[in-house]
Structure 1
Amino acid sequence: MISITFNQIEEFYKSSLENFRTRTFNYLSNSNKEKLSGISYHEYCIIVDRVIEKSAPFDLRSERDLFLFLSFIFEFGEDFAAAPEMDWLRSILRDPLPMKMERIFDAALLRFRPPPSNVKVKGIQGGIHAN
Structure 2
Amino acid sequence: MTDGRRERANERFEKVAEETSETVTHAATVLEEELAAGLAGARRLEEKLTESRRVDPEAFDELVARFRTDGHALIDTVVGQLKMADDQRGEVIRRYTSDAHDALDTVLNLARLAPEVANGLADRLASPAPKRPTDR
**What TM-score, normalized by structure 1, do the two folds share?**
0.29
More helix per residue = 2
**What TM-score, normalized by structure 2, do the two folds share?**
0.28
The structure with the larger Rg is 2
